């Protein structure tokens, strides 16, 4: 997949993969291509928005998030890291809404989730990206996009993007 194919999916003014309430599937063959898809998604987002990421360990959730955060202008891709141990990272660009990157991998139950204090985050005009979102049922007033990543092989990922 080249960048041209990624751009052919996006329509002006609409988040990549969510045009007209449709589900989109993209196959990438490298981390750079996965980040490119993320940049396209990010470039089309406006806060508030909730991005729910799911997929196996190593499927590319953080790699995709690097592109989304970069596409939003909140941070450079190399500055985005997995919040597996801190659970929540916040990125703020000079001209971008805040972006919260949340990792629920270590969350066992709803009580653990409540200790994160995300009520204030959901009340902000922000973009919230949640890895391992399938662990907790979330109800948000923000426009929501579900993205599932899966391994096809060592380098290849299938990314399914669906409006919630």
Three-class secondary structure assignment of 22-62: CCEEEEECCHHHHHHHHHHHHHCCCCCEEEEEEECCCCCHH
CA distance 161 to 18: 7
Sign of the dihedral defined by the CA atoms of residues 117, 47, 25, 71, in that order: negative
How would you write the pLDDT of the chain (164 residues) with one tens digit per residue?
433 333 334 333 445 545 556 899 999 999 999 999 999 999 999 999 999 999 999 999 999 999 999 999 999 999 999 887 788 999 998 888 999 999 999 888 777 887 787 888 888 999 999 999 988 877 778 899 999 999 999 999 999 999 87
Decide if 150 contacts 57 (C-beta within 8 A). Answer: no
Q: What is the set of domains in the chain, with CATH numbers?
A: 27-158 (3.40.50.300)
């Amino acid at each position: 997949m080249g960048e041209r194919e990624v751009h052919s999916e996006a329509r002006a003014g609409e988040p990549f993969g969510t045009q007209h309430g449709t589900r989109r599937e993209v196959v990438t063959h490298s981390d750079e291509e996965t980040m490119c898809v993320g940049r396209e998604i990010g470039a089309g987002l406006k806060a508030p928005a909730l991005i729910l990421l799911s997929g196996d360990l190593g499927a590319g959730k953080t790699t995709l998030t690097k592109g989304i955060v970069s596409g939003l202008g909140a941070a450079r891709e190399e500055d985005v890291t997995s919040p597996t141990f801190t659970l929540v990272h916040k990125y703020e660009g000079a001209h971008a809404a805040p972006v919260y990157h949340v990792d629920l991998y270590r969350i066992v139950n709803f009580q653990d989730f409540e200790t994160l204090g995300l009520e204030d985050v959901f009340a902000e005009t922000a973009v919230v990206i949640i890895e391992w979102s399938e662990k907790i049922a979330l109800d948000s007033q923000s426009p929501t996009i579900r993205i599932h990543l899966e391994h096809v092989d060592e380098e290849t990922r299938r990314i399914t993007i669906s409006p919630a």
